[in-house]
Amino acid sequence: MASKILVALMTVLAGVGVALATYWLLNKLAELFPDKLEARAKPYLYILPAYLAITVYLLYPAVQTIIDSFRDEASQNWVGLENYTELLSSSDFRATMFNTLLWILIVPAATVALGLAVATLADRLKPRAENTVKTILFLPMAISLVGASVVWNFIYEVRPAGQPQVGLQNALIGVFGIDPIAWLEQSQLHFNSLLLMLVLVWAQVGFSMVLLSAAVKGVPGDTLEAARIDGANEKQIFFQVIVPQIKGTIITVYVTVIIGVMKIFDIVYVMTNGNFNTNVVANAFWNQLSTFFNNGAASAIVVLLMIAVIPVMIYQVRQFKEQEANA
């Protein structure tokens, strides 16, 4: 244990030391330039390591992935659009895309709605009670999605009838004499997918609540008081005064959750591995890469995911710019 702590400490110190040495060398390099050129060159030299990291760890892999998507499973021979046509013509992959679409439609909306409801209601509590409620709801954010999946696996756990049920849901229905149910195998109307979505909503509501709570508290009290004087009830105040003023924050939280949902992998992989019609795009990529060893199909899935994510990111950047312009 002591050796691991020592290694971790040395790694941190080495990383900090390398960063300091890098910027010291860049500063010395800038000082070699003429005075006027030095002032202009320093900002570019200081951001150079960041740009190099983005190029090496983001741009290069992205370009290589796009190239591999037009190659065979061993990434050796060109196959054109074959990987894309096979994926899009596969009923399994179309079902996977539909499941992912369900996640996109349901999880962000539920997360924002619950987060906004909690933020609004908790704001009316006494400070101590408000802090307690928010702390409890924020705790799941401290758990990784893998850990959250393990916790919820115990809730959905099923054992043969007649045996003690360790799963919370089967233990509860057992009180009423109902036989145990394999919850995660119930694919009718995508019921098992909804149970998986519940895990992510549980984990993300705290994130939504914190941001939206800050936005709600930022609504000027004068506008609320003016609305009450004009005869507006609490429902009207909420939907016609509060929500319009925090619209920017709501959109930001919603888009952020959408981007996370489009890349969701951990929950599905740990709880069902995509079986029982619960597969999503990220898990399909993992299976193509690590189970079927098909680099071409895996790369094509990533490219399709990137194409889907880019418009959402562009929209989010525009929202940020609008908020800065209105600030």
Contacts of 37 (CB under 8 A, 6+ apart): none
Q: Specify the pTM.
A: 0.86
Instruction: Determine the structural domain holding residue 12 and report its residue range.
Output: 2-68
Structure confidence at residue 19 as a pLDDT band (50, 70, 90) = confident
190-246 per-position pLDDT tens digit:
999 999 999 999 999 999 999 999 898 888 888 888 888 888 888 888 888 899 889
Both 31 and 155 in one domain: the answer is: no
Both 129 and 197 in one domain: the answer is: yes
Both 7 and 153 in one domain: the answer is: no
How far apart, in whole angstroms, are the C-alpha atoms of residue 139 and residue 207? 10
Both 155 and 9 in one domain: the answer is: no
As a whole number, the mean pLDDT across the chain is 89
Structure confidence at residue 39 as a pLDDT band (50, 70, 90) = confident
Question: DSSP labels for 155-182?
Answer: HH----TTS---SHHHHHHHTTTPPP--
Specify the number of domains making up the chain. Answer: 2
Both 9 and 102 in one domain: the answer is: no
Both 212 and 158 in one domain: the answer is: yes
Both 226 and 291 in one domain: the answer is: yes
Structure confidence at residue 182 as a pLDDT band (50, 70, 90) = very high
Q: What is the CATH number of the domain that holds 276?
A: 1.10.3720.10
**Proportion of the chain above pLDDT 70, given as a percent:** 99
How far apart, in whole angstroms, are the C-alpha atoms of residue 88 and residue 240? 44
The number of C-alpha atoms within 13 Å of 184 and in the hemisphere containing its C-beta is: 25
Q: Does position 1 have pLDDT exceeding 80, yes or no?
A: no
95-143 per-position pLDDT tens digit:
999 999 999 999 999 999 999 999 888 888 888 888 888 888 888 988 8
299 in a structural domain:
yes
Both 158 and 301 in one domain: the answer is: yes
